[in-house]
Amino acid sequence: MAEQSPGCPYPLGPLVEPDGVNFSVYSRNADRLELLLYDDVDAAKPGRVIVLDPRRHRTYHYWHVFVPDLSPGQLYAYRAYGPNDPVRGLRFDPTKVLLDPYGRAVAMPADYRRQAACEPGPNDRHALKSVVADVSTYDWEGDTHLRRPFSETVIYEMHVGGFTKHPSSDVDPQERGTYRGLIDKIPYLRDLGVTAVELLPVFHFDAQDAPPGLANYWGYAPISFFAPHCGYSSCSNPLAPLDEFRDMVKALHRAGIEVILDVVYNHTAEGGEDGPTLSFRGLENSVYYIMEDDGRSYANYAGTGNTLNGNQSIVRRLILDSLHYWVREMHIDGFRFDLASILSRDEKGHPIPNPPVLWDIESDPALAGTKLIAEAWDAAGLYQVGHFIGDSWKEWNGQFRDDVRAFVRGDEKMVPRLADRLLGSPDLYAETDREAEQSINFVTSHDGFTLQDLVSYSVKHNEANGENNRDGADYNLSHNYGVEGPTDDPAIEALRKRQIKNLLAINLLSLGAPMILMGDEVRRTQRGNNNAYCQDNDLSWFDWSNLETHGDIHRFVKELIRLRFIRESVSQQHHLTLEELTRRARIQLHGVKLGSPDFRDKSHTLALSASSLSGDLLMHFALNAFADSLEFELPELPKWATSGWRRVLDTSLESPQDITLPPEAPRVDGSAYQVKDRSVVVLFAAALPSP
């Protein structure tokens, strides 16, 4: 066997070469590092230990070694020796097995125990291990990024596991809850009409970072920023997640569907002072995390126990390298940054106007054309919706969610706010010359009530989470309409269904880029749990039997998406600013009377008319959140609109009359239309012959 050599500090992580593997890892304050090579993921000790001599294997703060005759599939990890002085922010523990921060794959032992990384003594048998991988050999078969503009994008937020775990999915039992299982359901996504999936975290995460007896289901507990989660693989080969994930991306691209990842660069699964030593804490704690009290404790802007030090140079490099990897090697089309406002904090945790890491991402040529979406707030009160930095970033619009919920529920003082939300939130974005799609519009997301629960529960019911219902948001803007939870009352059921259609219609037809939550199209319920992060069971999974039970809502969503794309008849002009779009579409606001929008506090009505930018389609929207029916005046049509007004949507009607696309949509005669209580109506007129 050839002898090892000092190797090179670049690139970080494992680099597979023809005659072996180069390893490089960062640690500034370590006195000594050991590279551990394991023969088996369940081994109680490494088969080989390579001691890294700082005189030979260290360049600046990078420890490196070239090991000949190694190949992909080799299991490895590190031990780091150095001062254990928490008062100074140093937490070296040479008894702990440490994942490589740049490892491309992770192997999990059968008896993985998170707690073993918190307790004194060795934890080899119970520890995660990194896996050497050569990602250059995968055959992409000509696959490329789709580069779909936001103006043509409808996002479906979904969970890889929960999409097919339910027995009703009809997916092979070995593939339920996996990347391969998702591939089986791509025809469903394509038929629904969505153009992008936004996957809840797929970076390898610690599923045991949850209350006792439960699992971290959502995945907001990352421990590797390069490795796809091995729990979503259909087989035990530690390299299988890489190929299965890429197979999924390639298959989605073939179906015309982009892949956006929900990424968590704000914290890790290592938690606070009492958390486990899994990787970063044991390699260079005070560099990777924002520390407080002169290094004694962890800043907690994510609400999870620690906060990554995103604007520290080493962590900035880690984030950029991770993004490059997922775009270049995994063909990812975009990223939604969880609690993105944390990345605008400096190394002391203070918000700064020009955060280096965010500008790095914004201006990076390797990320040009990649979708960048910010959740523009954090758990410590920093709220940046409407003024997140840069030109490329889009924003989850929490104001849209709250204002649409409140209007549909019947709250007062909401009509002016609703008008802004329908028109792309000009109160937030018009002054920045942003396009309408700056706003990612949503009414529900993974965090909070599902759409069904939003109209079925007035308060949260999170007892199953084991925290005595203290967790989860109390401010939900929900309503049960007479009964808390399920009901057999036909009147309540009819009203709930109508409100669901109202919320969907506003979300999918407003200016901006819409996002819908997995299962809302079939009225998926979490039985009132608005924080199901730890519920890896049928409470969270997509129940495919609902596709038949609530087929009317599924059809409604499909047709709404088709209607949206009819409305976007000039989507190639997607670079228009919000102000230009509003002017050229000749948007006018009304109430029940034309030209007289009612913005009084007790008003619950709004109407607006607009034309397509090409001028060949006129649209009129009428929204009534009153408990009584009202007649809305209709604009007079020009002579060229030979089709007359056609009713394409009326949420008060039963399926299939509730939505009918042109030219089959029924004609509306007269100068007014009666909009039933708590309903949304949309009329189209075009230069088309009568059917």
Parallel/antiparallel/unpaired status of strands 84-85 and 75-81 = unpaired
What pLDDT, on a 0 to 100 scale, did the predictor assign at position 571?
Answer: 43
The sign of the torsion formed by the CA atoms of 424, 427, 429, 430 equals positive
Intervals of CATH 2.60.40.1180 along the chain:
585-686
- Mind listing the pLDDT tens digit for each residue in 291-304? 999 888 999 999 99
Whether residue 94 is preceded by a cis peptide bond, meaning omega within 30 degrees of 0, is: no
- Mind listing the pLDDT tens digit for each residue in 517-526? 999 999 999 9
What pLDDT, on a 0 to 100 scale, did the predictor assign at position 568?
Answer: 59
pTM, full prediction:
0.97
What pLDDT, on a 0 to 100 scale, did the predictor assign at position 612?
Answer: 81
Asked whether the predicted pLDDT for residue 404 surpasses 80, the reply is yes
The percent of the chain in helix, strand and coil, each rounded to the nearest 5, is 30, 20, 50
In total, the chain counts a number of residues equal to 691
Question: Where in the sequence numbering do the catalytic residues fall?
Answer: 338, 375
Whole-angstrom Cα distance, residue 461 to residue 471? Answer: 10
What pLDDT, on a 0 to 100 scale, did the predictor assign at position 613?
Answer: 76
Whole-angstrom Cα distance, residue 667 to residue 227? Answer: 55
- Mind listing the pLDDT tens digit for each residue in 676-685? 999 999 999 9
Asked whether the predicted pLDDT for residue 1 surpasses 70, the reply is no
pLDDT tier, 583 (very low <50, low <70, confident <90, very high otherwise): confident
pLDDT tier, 27 (very low <50, low <70, confident <90, very high otherwise): very high
Q: Averaged over 478-490, what is the pLDDT?
A: 98
Residue range 13-137 forms a domain whose CATH class is: mainly beta
What pLDDT, on a 0 to 100 scale, did the predictor assign at position 646?
Answer: 96
Whole-angstrom Cα distance, residue 594 to residue 75? Answer: 71
Which CA distances in Å does 254 have to 143, 176, 195, 251, 452?
Answer: 8, 22, 12, 5, 32
- Mind listing the pLDDT tens digit for each residue in 42-79? 999 999 999 999 999 999 999 999 999 999 999 999 99
What pLDDT, on a 0 to 100 scale, did the predictor assign at position 294?
Answer: 85
The fourth-level CATH superfamily of domain 585-686 is Golgi alpha-mannosidase II (2.60.40.1180)
Task: Please give the CATH topology (third level) of the domain spanning 150-453+499-567.
Answer: TIM Barrel (3.20.20)
Asked whether the predicted pLDDT for residue 220 surpasses 80, the reply is yes
pLDDT tier, 569 (very low <50, low <70, confident <90, very high otherwise): very low
Q: Are the beta carbons of 451 and 525 closer than 8 angstroms?
A: no
User: Which of 315-329, 412-426, 555-569, 653-667 shows the lowest per-residue confidence on average (mean pLDDT)?
Assistant: 555-569
What pLDDT, on a 0 to 100 scale, did the predictor assign at position 171?
Answer: 98
What pLDDT, on a 0 to 100 scale, did the predictor assign at position 566?
Answer: 86
How far from the centroid of its chain's Cα atoms is residue 145's Cα? 19
Q: Averaged over 434-445, what is the pLDDT?
A: 91
Closest CA to 687 of 617, 633, 609: 617
Whole-angstrom Cα distance, residue 450 to residue 240? Answer: 33
What pLDDT, on a 0 to 100 scale, did the predictor assign at position 690?
Answer: 43
**Average pLDDT in the chain:** 95
Token digits of residue 663: 């030219």
Q: Averaged over 97-123, what is the pLDDT?
A: 98
pLDDT tier, 250 (very low <50, low <70, confident <90, very high otherwise): very high
* H or E element that contains 359: helix 356-363
Q: Averaged over 616-633, what is the pLDDT?
A: 96
Whole-angstrom Cα distance, residue 676 to residue 669? Answer: 17
Asked whether the predicted pLDDT for residue 575 surpasses 70, the reply is no
Closest CA to 637 of 646, 628, 629: 646
Q: Averaged over 498-514, what is the pLDDT?
A: 97
Whole-angstrom Cα distance, residue 283 to residue 103? Answer: 14
Asked whether the predicted pLDDT for residue 139 surpasses 90, the reply is yes
pLDDT tier, 691 (very low <50, low <70, confident <90, very high otherwise): very low
The residues near 491 (Cβ < 8 Å, ≥ 6 apart) are: none
Q: Are the beta carbons of 46 and 97 closer than 8 angstroms?
A: no
pLDDT tier, 585 (very low <50, low <70, confident <90, very high otherwise): confident
What pLDDT, on a 0 to 100 scale, did the predictor assign at position 436?
Answer: 80
| Burial class (CB within 10 angstroms; exposed 0-12, middle 13-18, buried 19+) of 481 | buried
Whole-angstrom Cα distance, residue 627 to residue 410? Answer: 9
Q: Are the beta carbons of 80 and 94 closer than 8 angstroms?
A: yes
DSSP 391-444: SSEEEE-HHHHHHHHHHHHT-TT-HHHHHHHHTT-HHHHGGGT-BGGGEEE-S-
Intervals of CATH 3.20.20.80 along the chain:
150-453+499-567
Share of the chain above pLDDT 70, in %: 97
| Burial class (CB within 10 angstroms; exposed 0-12, middle 13-18, buried 19+) of 493 | middle
Q: Are the beta carbons of 133 and 105 closer than 8 angstroms?
A: yes
Q: Are the beta carbons of 531 and 472 closer than 8 angstroms?
A: yes
| Burial class (CB within 10 angstroms; exposed 0-12, middle 13-18, buried 19+) of 1 | exposed
What pLDDT, on a 0 to 100 scale, did the predictor assign at position 295?
Answer: 87
Number of other CB atoms surrounding residue 432 within 10 Å: 13
Asked whether the predicted pLDDT for residue 457 surpasses 80, the reply is yes
What pLDDT, on a 0 to 100 scale, did the predictor assign at position 2?
Answer: 63
Whole-angstrom Cα distance, residue 322 to residue 346? Answer: 20
DSSP 473-497: -S------TTSSS----HHHHHHHH
Q: Averaged over 236-247, what is the pLDDT?
A: 97
What pLDDT, on a 0 to 100 scale, did the predictor assign at position 576?
Answer: 64
What pLDDT, on a 0 to 100 scale, did the predictor assign at position 577?
Answer: 67
Asked whether the predicted pLDDT for residue 582 surpasses 80, the reply is no
Asked whether the predicted pLDDT for residue 648 surpasses 80, the reply is yes
Asked whether the predicted pLDDT for residue 389 surpasses 70, the reply is yes
Q: Averaged over 223-239, what is the pLDDT?
A: 97
The two most distant CA atoms of the chain are separated, in Å, by 90
* b (16+ CB within 10 A) / e for 168-181: bbebeeebbbbbbb
